[in-house]
Structure formats: C-alpha cells, structure tokens
Amino acid sequence: MLDAVKPETPVTADEAQTSESHHVGPSFQPTHPLALAPVTSPPHTVDGFVKEFLAELNTNAGVTLSRSTVNDQYLSLARTVRHYLSARWLENTRKARETKAKMVGYLSAEFLLGRQLGNALLASDLEEIAEQALAACGIDIATLRAQEVEPGLGNGGLGRLAACFIDSLATMGVPCIGYGIRYEYGIFRQTFVDGRQVEQPDSWLTLGSPWEFPHPEHAVQVDFGGHTETYVDADGTSRSRWIPAWNVLGMPYNYMVPGYQNGQVNTLRLWSAQATQAFDLPTFNSGDYADAVRAQTFAENITKVLYPEDSTPQGKELRLQQQYFFVACSIRDFLDRFILDGDVTTLPERVIFQLNDTHPVIAVPELMRVLVDIEKLDWDEAWAITQKCFAYTCHTLLPEALEVWSTELLGRLLPRHLEIIYRINDEFLAEVRAAYPNDELRARQMSIIGEYPERAVRMAYLATVAGSKVNGVAELHSQLLRDKVLHDFSEYWPEKFTNVTNGVTPRRFIRLANPGLSELITETLGTGWLTDLERLEELEPYAEDAGFRDSFVAIKEANKAKLYRLLQARDGVVLPEHHLLDVMVKRLHEYKRQSLKLLHIVSTYEQIITGKVAADEVTPRTFVFGAKAAPGYRIAKETIHLINSVAQVVNSDPLVKDVLKVVFPANYNVTLAETLIPAADLSEQISLAGKEASGTGNMKLALNGALTIGTDDGANVEIRKLVGDEHFFLFGLTEPEVAELQAKGYHAHEYYESNPQLKATLDLIASGHFSGGDRGLFEPLVSNLLYDDRFMALADFESYLDAQAKVDASYVDQDAWARSAVLNVARSGFFSSDRSMRDYIDRIWHTHPLR
Ligand SMILES: *Cc1c(COP(=O)(O)O)cnc(C)c1O
C-alpha cells in the first residue's frame, strides 16, 4: 500500500510496538519498482475477473471451486469486487489528506446501508463482467446476491438518508467520511407469530462481513465517568481536567463508499467497542473465568445493539454511552488522520461535521474539551472554531421526540462535558439577556438546560446554539421549525436557519431496484440521467406516447410479478394479478397513521359484506403493509396485530376474495423495499399534517411511478407541487387547520357519532369480527381512536375515503393512470439525494469536489 510508505523518522520495530502514537509509520524503504508504483486495479475483463475470483476462493476462503459453498462463493465475489475499488480508495484518501481539501464529516448514529454487492458492482461497472465470469464458473450470480445479509444499522428514514447522502457525495466526488457505530446486532428481524410481532436478533455478522476492513492500529481510547478538577498550569492559567474512572477502546472498521462509475471511493468508518484490557489473567488463572472477561463483556455492550426506537428517544444510559463513544472516537480520529501538523486552529478549513439529528450532539462539548483541556486553546478561540465545525439537521416536529439528557446522568457519565455545557449555556444566556433586556421568560425558554420535569440538557438547543447552520428536511418542516419548535432561536438568528429537502439515491432506488424502468429511460434519453436526475423531465413528452406508456405498464406488471414470486416464496401468499397495488411501507407509528389505512380497508370490506356495495363495483386492490414497531411501543404492536388479523379474515372471505387482498410481509427492510417499491401503483403518505418531517419513502415511490395519496405534510407538499394536483390524491386537514382544531379542542368521538360509515367500521372491529369474537382484544386500539386519537385519524377519515374513491375511479382508466404515473417519474428528478447534497454544499458546507 503506497499510501503507508511515507518515509518518517525511522523507528525500530520494538519502538513501534510500544509507541502511543497513532501514526507509527513503517521504517522500511522499498526499492522494487512494483512497490513504488501506484496501486492498480485488476483488469476489467471476464478472464481477469475469473482469475481474481478463483484466487480469492482458493487462498482466502481456502476451498476449491468444486467444494465451495454458496457462502464461500458470495464472500469471494464480494472480495473480488473490493479489489477493483481499493486502488481508487487508497488514492482518494491520500489525495484528501495531501490537498487538505475540506471534508464533510457526516456524524450519524445510523447508516441503513442495504446490501452492498449490487451497488459495488454497479459503481465499478462490473455487472456484466461479473455475471459472465461467474457463469463461466458455473455459478448464477443471482444466487450469490441473495446470500448477502443486509447490514441493518438503522431504524428507518434517518439511517437510510445517511446512506443515500454518502452515496451521493461519493458520486459527486466530494470528500466525505461517514462516522457511525458498528452495531453487532442491527435492527431486529421481525417475525409474526399468530399475527403478533416477535423480534429476533439480527446477527448480520455471523456468516462474515466481506465489506469491512478492521483497523486495530487506529483504535482510540474513550473515557467515561470519574470527576473533574482544576489546576494551575505552568504559565499560571487556571485549567480544568477530567479524571475519568473507566475507559473502552474504539476499534474502527472501514467500509468503501464508491461513487457511481467515477473512480471516487469515500470512507464510512464505523466504531466497535472493546475492552482496553480484554482479559484479566490473574483472575483467569485463579479459576474465575466469568470474572476474567467481565470488563470485556461490559465494554462490548456499548456497541452490541442498535436501539430499535424511531421518533422517540430512549433516555437510557447505554444510549448516551453509545453516542459519546462514537463521536469521541470520530473527532480523535479526524484530528489524528487529517490534522497532521497538529495545528487544530485550521480545523474549520478541513472539516464540517454534520450532526444527523441530536444523536451526535455530545460531539460539541467533546470538541470543546479537546481544544480547551488538551490543546490548551482559550475558551473563546475554541468556541469560535467549534461553531464553525458543526451544522445541525433536525429531523422531527414531535415534542416527545426531542432528545434530553438529565444532568444527573450526564454529570455522572461525562462530568467535564456537563461543565462545558453549563458554560456554553451561561455565555449564551448572557447574550440573550443583553439582546432582550427584561425578558427573563425568554431566557428561560431558550436555556439549553430545561428544569422540568427534571433538570436536563436539551440536545436540540445545544446543537442550535453551537451549529453554524440548522436545517429542516423539507420546506414545510423547516418553516415549522422556525415558527414553532425553535421559534425563539430563529428570531434571534434568522440567518442560521435553512432548509434542505431530503432526497434518495437514484442508483439504488431506480437503477438497482428497477432495472426495467432504468433501461426504458436510457433507451429514451440516453445515458447520463442517473447522475443528473432532473433530466427525467425530458420524459414528459413521452407521457403522451402510447407506445412508451405500454412499455412503462409492461415494466410495472413485470415488477409486480417479481414481487408476487418473492412473496410466494418468502411468505407463502399467492396474489392476484391486475389488482391496483396499494402500498404503505414505513415504520409503524401513530403519527404515520397505519390505523387510518386500516380503517379504509375495513370500511371497504364492511360495505361489501353488508351489501351496501356490490363486490363487482369495487376496484380490485391488493394492500401491502411493511412496518416494524419498536418492541416497547404497545399501540404500534397492537396495530400490527390488527392488520394481520384483518388480513386473515379478509383474505379468506369468499365474498371479497376477487377484489380485496391484504398482505403484510414481515421484516420490511431496504432489501424488501427494493422489490416492493417498483411494483407499487399507489403510495400511501397519510401522516397527520405537521408531523412527518419529510419522508423519503414518498420520493422512492413517486420516482418509480406510483401515484401518491397523501396529506399536505413533509415532502408530500413538494411532490404535489412538482407532479401537479391532477396526478396526486390530496386529502386531510392542513397544518394550520390541525393547530386550530387542537386549540379549540378535538373530540374524536364526535366524528364517530356523526359519520355512519366510520361508526360501522369501528363497530365492526370492536365487535370481535377480526378477533374470533373476542371483543376485548382490539378494544384498547378502538378506545384509543375514539377517546384520544392524538393524530386525528377520525377527523381525516371522511376526506381520506373521498380521496380513495377518486383513486378507484381513476384506476379504471388504465391509460390515464399510466400517463399520470409517467409524469410522476418525469417530474420527481428533484428528489435525488445528489440535489440534496448540492444544497448542503451551497447553503451549509461550502466544500468542493476533489477534481
Ligand atoms: C426509505 C425507507 C424508510 C423511510 O420511509 P418513510 O416512508 O419516509 O418513513 C424506512 N425504511 C426503509 C427500509 C426505507 O428504505
């Protein structure tokens, strides 16, 4: 590795072994011309690929082709593809270091990557070569693709967004290092037992993870606990220092983040916790084997599991340990690897750390601690640097989702950080009081420290005070942040607030997920659209072209057929062709309102079985749900049970069997999304207005030609504006109407009383029809809707059903529907995460591509 051959002060092997430095260079001086030449890729030929693949199989897996298992073959294929990427990877890392380019440090507790193989083959332009090479070895590449277990290192939208963003930055040639956590167990694997969700551990590492490169030589020590003390240093300055009580080691694992066929390969660095002292030998020798590894078990717990929460913070000590662990590792790592001359004052020229929600916000006092306590900068200079190095993305509007840490816990785990936060707050409040004299209420409202129900640090406020910029993730969301959640801050610092509407990577969610559509687009527009997605607008005229629409419809049908084959194999369900495919896939949460979707299904069913509507008058539909519920979220889990119970009754009722089907494949993840989304006709985006920050599922579905039925919420607003009202089914209260209704007092029960169809629907559920006569089973869900209904499902019911009636009517004219679907694709190019990245660069980061 040429990268490492940087002549440094020679050190002997023994010195190198004992050195504390993270930059122990090799002492050798290579002379062989090969050792001095740049690292090169293997030849891009079938023969070259076969040779590399067999070498991997024989030397790395240690088997012959004839004796190899599918897993051996998959691992060897993955490693072979790696060979093609590593030359550029090493080169890019060197370049970023040498040119001192400003980098994006994307700090995120979650990266929901999805499978890697397909993307790596696409990025390195090896799809055909690899397929032919494996075929020549007698192997079907599809079998190996299916062998990959996706790393589920995220919950949903937020983690997937991070994965889309690093893909886009690599594709745009912008140097970025993603920093996160290598959870040993990612998001749980969902199974259903008698219709109820049962969580299984996701042991994604068991069969080997060929995409990661461990770097034990870059391990970082992370301290916890203890106390602080003040002392006077040599030049008479009074300083603080932290005397921690315990520590762990952060072990980095690198992952390649290849750009799309552009030679750029960025890095994702995920941290794994290990004990600083793995093993207590005297204890072991005395025979207490469990005690001997206690420290190790304790340390490794930190990165053992992903918290399976979405939209509600956990508030657990281990969670704070995870957060501090990964940001402390990441900041130390960046300084060690990129600030080689040790001049930390140059940091703002070298990096902008983007905080993906509040999970990494403890990085703010951590950087202050490093600059003040270790680098001995004075406070004001350190604060000026810190403010330039961070920017904050807020991802929510739900007050209960805003993260807070009690000062009791923070002070116990990170005593020095709490002191730093107090000082940041004192200086900030002094500014506020100066700006608004005699307005103590405002100062109290803006304080980083909240007092009720307990004294706690408001992480969103800390991020807002520290960040150079604060952004929301869709126009409406950013507006509501300014007007409501962070109102006082936006008044004080109007220029700090900005919007960047989310996006999704078209490489994964169009090209890989929907090869049929991608081919049609390339045939029609030529190449280039995949990295310039606004070019999809050139498809507009083809919406009027009957031949094009026929091709488009044929692709949609083929995608449905593929999905149905998968669901039959996976879940044993057989689905009818030619139904409207109605898809609601996203985390299970009350604000997303899967229950409203369910009310529509039950209402339709009720109308048929009571004879209000004849089955043959109904537009045949198949409803697909995909959703995991947080294991401790009772109502969400009951909703899953109800969906499965409704599915069972509806699917086996002969009265509706030709027109209604409900399916709920277990374990919705990125891999399932990639097959489901391209098959969808209708995209359900039905959150209560003002609750969904953006949504990205809505974008994936529109880009694959599904029409949206949705509320005026999140990025739906922008989707509707772009695709046009006549190609979007809008319903429901608007955000101001929600606020008004809330203010005057919302009584869900009144909607039940005044709408007979709503009453019949809820009564059918309450009657035990879907629970074998058991009236008690779903009573809590029904009561929740009738007497609480925080997210106003009942208020939007009528409007939702009206919009669904329009969907039914529209779908009858298949040709008009196809035209709308094509226009959805043509007008959704804005939702590429490449565009999101350009916006971050222009409005927040001010970084540049390497070339
Ligand atoms: C895109 C995506 C999400 C986010 O979906 P929303 O509808 O925006 O909530 C969640 N999970 C997976 C697996 C995804 O791919």
Domain with 257 in it: what CATH number? 3.40.50.2000
CA of 696 to the centre of ligand 1 (A): 6
Beta strand pairing status for 470-472 and 497-499? parallel
Does 572 map to a domain?
A: no
Look at residue 576 and tell me whether its pLDDT is greater than 80: yes
Q: What does 766-814 look like in DSSP terms, one character per residue?
A: HTTTTTTT-SSTTHHHHHHHHHT-TT-HHHHHHHHHHHHHHHHHHHHSH
Which atom number of ligand 1 is nearest to the Cα of residue 157?
4
CB of 57 sitting under 6 A from ligand 1: no
Mean pLDDT of the chain: 94
Instruction: Please give the model's pTM, rounded to 2 decimal places.
Output: 0.95
33 and 167 both lie in a single domain: no
Looking at the structure, do residues 154 and 128 belong to the same domain, yes or no? no
More confident residue, 600 or 297: 600
Confidence of residue 280 (pLDDT cuts 50, 70, 90): low
Report which protein residue has its CA nearest ligand 1's atom 7: 697
- Ligand 1 centroid to 505 CA: how many Å? 13
pLDDT of residue 27: 63
591 and 486, same structural domain? no
Ligand 1 atom 8: residue of nearest CA? 695
Q: What is the DSSP string of 54-113?
A: HHIIIIIS---GGG--HHHHHHHHHHHHHHHHHHHHHHHHHHHHHTT--EEEEE-S-B--
Whether residue 134 is found in the same domain as residue 181: no
Q: What is the pLDDT of residues 112-158, one digit of tens each?
A: 999 999 999 999 999 999 999 999 999 999 999 999 999 999 999 99
Q: Which SS3 state, helix, strand or coil, does residue 266 take?
A: strand
Q: Are residues 130 and 198 in the same domain?
A: no
- Residue at 548 is within a domain: no
714 lines ligand 1 (CB under 6 A): no
Gap between the Cα atoms of 416 and 224, Å rounded: 10
Given this model, what pLDDT does residue 91 score?
83
Nearest partner of 341 among 620, 742, 23, 668, judged by Cα: 23
Distance 518 CA to ligand 1 centre (A): 21
Q: Answer yes or no: is the C-beta of 586 below 6 A from any ligand 1 atom.
A: yes
Residues 722 and 581 in one domain: yes
Structure tokens at 241: 């220092």
Asked whether residue 79 falls in the same domain as residue 171, the answer is no
Query: Is residue 623 situated within a structural domain?
Result: yes
How confident is the model at residue 70, as a pLDDT?
Answer: 97
**Residue 131 belongs to domain spanning:** 1-98+118-147
Judge contact between 551 and 818, C-beta under 8 A. Answer: no
CA of 110 from ligand 1 middle (Å) equals: 13
In a domain, 587, yes or no: yes
| Spatial separation of the C-alpha atoms in residues 231 and 239, rounded to whole Å | 5
Average pLDDT over residues 665-674: 98
Q: Which atom of ligand 1 is nearest to the CA of 699?
A: 8
Q: Determine, yes or no, domain membership for 562.
A: no
pLDDT tens digit sequence for 81-121: 999 998 888 888 888 888 889 999 999 999 999 999 999 99
Q: Could you give the residue numbers annotated as active site?
A: 395, 586-587, 592, 696, 700
Are 140 and 165 found together in one domain? no
Q: Is there an atom of ligand 1 within 6 Å of 156 CB?
A: yes
Question: Is the confidence at residue 1, as pLDDT, over 60?
Answer: no
Question: Which residue's alpha carbon is nearest to atom 5 within ligand 1?
Answer: 697
Question: Are 271 and 402 in the same domain?
Answer: yes
Condensed to tens digits (0 to 9), the pLDDT of residues 198-217 reads 999 999 999 889 999 999 99
**Residue 325 and residue 299 in contact, taking contact as beta carbons nearer than 8 Å:** no
pLDDT digits (tens, 9 = 90+) for 361-420: 999 999 999 999 999 999 999 999 999 999 999 999 998 889 999 999 999 999 999 999
**Atom 10 of ligand 1: nearest residue by CA position:** 156
> Is residue 289 situated within a structural domain?
yes
Do residues 803 and 753 share a domain? Answer: yes
Site to probe by mutation for ligand 1, drawn from 188, 696, 711, 719 as the one with most ligand atoms within 8 Å of Cβ, is 696
Ligand 1 pocket, 628 CB below 6 A?
no
605/695 same-domain check: yes
Tokens 């007007």, located at residue: 483
Residue nearest to atom 12 of ligand 1 (CA): 156
| pLDDT band with cut points at 50, 70 and 90 for residue 8 | very low
532 within some domain: no
DSSP 262: S
Cα distances (angstroms) measured from residue 66 to each of 69, 116, 137, 139, 749 = 9, 26, 10, 11, 68
In a domain? residue 794: yes
Task: Give pLDDT, residue 71.
Answer: 96
629 lines ligand 1 (CB under 6 A): no
Calculate helix-pair angle for 634-651, 594-609, nearest 10 degrees.
30
Domain tally, the chain = 3
- Beta carbon of 696 within 6 Å of any ligand 1 atom: yes
Q: Tell me, yes or no, whether 192 and 141 share the same domain.
A: no
Ligand 1 near 695 CB (within 6 A): yes
For range 671-695, the mean pLDDT: 98
The answer to whether 105 and 62 have CB atoms below 8 angstroms apart is no
State the pLDDT at residue 365: 98
Sign, Cα dihedral of 537, 539, 545, 548: negative
SS3 623: strand
The answer to whether 557 and 549 are in contact (CB under 8 A) is: no
